[in-house]
C-alpha cells in the first residue's frame, strides 16, 4: 500500500476515534465514560511496559511502582491546600499552599519517575532474567512500604482522598495516542533497531558496537515516564490513591495484557488492553448477576491460559497492525 493511502486511512481512523471521544464525553453516561477512561489508561500502561519488557527484553515486575509514584505526586500537587495543611504535614510550606492543574502534575510526575528510574536502572539493569525480575519486584515492594508508612506525606494506609477529578476522556485519549505514537517512532528509529538487537542477543549486539546497558536504561526511563503519567491520570480519575491500589493484581493484569497482545507489538498491546478491559467489565456484570463472586477471576485466567496455549507468542506476536490486512478482505481497500 502506498504512503498516501496509508496516511488517508490513518487520518480517517483518527478522525473517527476522536469523534467517538467527543460523543462519549459529551453525551455518554458516567459508567461508559469511566470504563473508557480506564481502557485508555490500560493502553498507556501496557504499551509503556511493552517498550521495556517486550521490545528491549527487560524482565521487570516493578513497573507499577512508577505508576504509584506518579499517582502520589499528582495527588499531592492537585490536593486543595486546606486539606494538605491538615493531612500532609510533612510537606514543605510552599508546597502546602499551592494547587496544581492536571497537566503540570502529569509532567512533574513523569519527570520524577523517570529520574528515579534512571537511578534505579543504573543498578538493576546490570542484572538479567530472573535476577532482574526479582530485583524490580523488590522495588515495587519498597514503593508500597514507603507509601504505607510515610504518614505525613502519603497518609499511609488511609491514602489521599478528595482529589479533584480533572481526568476526562480527552486527557486519557490524548495521552494514549501520544504514548502509542512515541513508542512506535522509537521502534522504527535506529534506537529501536538497537533495542530489538539487544533483546535478541545481548552479547552479539555489543559485539557490533551497540551499548546494551544504555539502550536498556533509555527504554526503562521512557517506560517509567509514561507509566507515571498514567498513574497521575488514574489518581485524578478515581479521586483517591492508596498503597494497595498499585500492587500485585495490577502488575499481573498489565503483564497479561502485554503477553496476550504480543511482546514486541505496540498495536497488539492496544488491542489487548481494549479487549481485556471490555472482558473484565462483562465478567463483573455476569458475576454480580449470578452472585457467584470470584468466578470472573477464574474465567479471566482461563481465557489467558487458552490464548497462551494456542498463541504462545501472543495474538500479534511481534507484528504491528497493517492496513494491508484489509486489502485481503475486500478490494475496496
Q: Minimal CA–CA distance to 218: which of 187, 256, 250?
A: 187
Q: Minimal CA–CA distance to 73: which of 197, 230, 253, 293?
A: 230
pLDDT score for 241: 96
pLDDT in tens, 25-66: 999 899 999 999 999 999 999 999 999 999 998 989 999 999
Q: Minimal CA–CA distance to 224: which of 76, 59, 44?
A: 44
HSE-CB at 86 with a 13 A cutoff on CA atoms is 7
| This prediction's pTM | 0.93
Q: What is the mean pLDDT of the chain?
A: 90
Q: What share of the chain in percent tops pLDDT 70?
A: 96
Cα gap 154→105, rounded to integer Å: 16
Cα gap 8→292, rounded to integer Å: 48
Which class does domain 3-329 fall in?
A: mainly alpha
How distant, in Å, are the alpha carbons of 132, 263, 264, 265, 269 from that of 313? 21, 7, 10, 10, 13
Q: What is the DSSP letter of 208?
A: T
Q: Could you identify the residue written with the cell 521490545?
A: 55
pLDDT score for 184: 93
Q: What is the DSSP letter of 53?
A: I
Cα gap 168→25, rounded to integer Å: 8
pLDDT in tens, 77-93: 999 999 998 999 999 98
DSSP per-residue string spanning 63-118: HHHHHHHHHHHHHHHHS-HHHHHHH-TTS-HHHHT----HHHHHHHHHHHHHHHHH
Q: Minimal CA–CA distance to 91: which of 104, 77, 109?
A: 77
Task: Provide the residue ranges of all domains of the chain, joining segments of one domain with +.
Answer: 3-329
Angle between helices 248-261 and 63-78 (to 10 degrees): 120
pLDDT in tens, 203-250: 888 888 888 889 999 999 999 999 999 999 999 999 999 999 898 889
Amino acid at each position: 500500500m502506498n504512503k498516501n493511502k496509508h496516511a488517508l486511512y490513518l487520518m480517517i481512523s483518527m478522525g473517527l476515534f476522536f469523534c467517538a471521544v467527543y460523543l462519549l464525553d459529551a453525551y455518554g453516561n458516567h459508567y461508559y465514560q469511566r470504563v473508557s477512561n480506564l481502557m485508555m489508561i490500560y493502553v498507556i500502561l501496557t504499551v509503556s511496559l511493552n517498550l521495556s519488557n517486550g521490545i528491549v527484553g527487560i524482565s521487570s515486575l516493578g513497573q507499577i511502582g512508577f505508576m504509584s509514584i506518579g499517582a502520589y505526586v499528582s495527588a499531592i500537587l492537585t490536593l486543595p491546600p486546606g486539606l494538605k495543611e491538615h493531612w500532609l504535614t510533612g510537606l514543605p510550606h510552599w508546597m502546602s499552599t499551592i494547587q496544581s492543574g492536571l497537566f503540570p502534575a502529569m509532567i512533574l510526575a513523569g519527570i520524577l519517575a523517570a529520574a528515579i528510574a534512571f537511578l534505579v536502572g543504573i543498578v538493576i539493569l546490570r542484572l538479567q532474567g530472573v535476577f532482574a525480575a526479582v530485583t524490580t519486584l523488590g522495588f515495587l515492594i519498597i514503593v508500597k512500604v514507603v507509601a504505607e508508612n510515610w504518614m505525613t506525606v502519603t497518609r499511609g494506609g488511609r491514602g489521599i482522598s478528595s482529589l479533584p477529578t480533572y481526568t476526562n476522556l480527552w486527557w486519557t485519549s490524548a495521552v494514549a495516542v501520544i504514548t502509542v505514537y512515541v513508542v512506535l517512532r522509537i521502534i522504527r528509529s535506529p534506537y529501536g533497531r538497537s533495542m530489538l538487537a539487544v533483546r535478541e542477543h545481548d552479547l552479539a549486539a555489543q559485539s557490533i558496537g551497540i551499548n546494551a546497558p544504555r539502550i536498556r536504561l533509555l527504554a526503562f526511563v521512557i517506560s517509567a515516564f509514561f507509566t507515571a503519567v498514567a498513574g497521575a491520570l488514574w489518581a485524578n480519575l478515581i479521586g483517591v490513591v492508596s498503597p494497595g491500589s498499585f500492587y500485585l493484581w495490577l502488575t499481573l493484569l498489565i503483564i497479561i495484557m502485554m503477553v496476550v497482545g504480543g511482546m514486541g507489538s505496540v498495536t497488539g498491546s492496544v488491542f489487548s488492553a481494549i479487549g481485556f478491559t471490555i472482558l473484565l467489565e462483562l465478567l463483573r456484570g455476569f458475576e454480580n448477576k449470578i452472585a457467584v463472586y470470584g468466578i470472573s477471576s477464574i474465567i479471566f485466567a482461563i481465557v489467558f491460559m487458552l490464548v497462551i496455549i494456542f498463541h504462545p507468542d501472543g495474538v500479534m506476536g511481534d507484528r504491528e497492525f497493517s492496513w494491508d490486512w484489509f486489502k485481503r478482505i475486500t478490494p475496496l481497500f
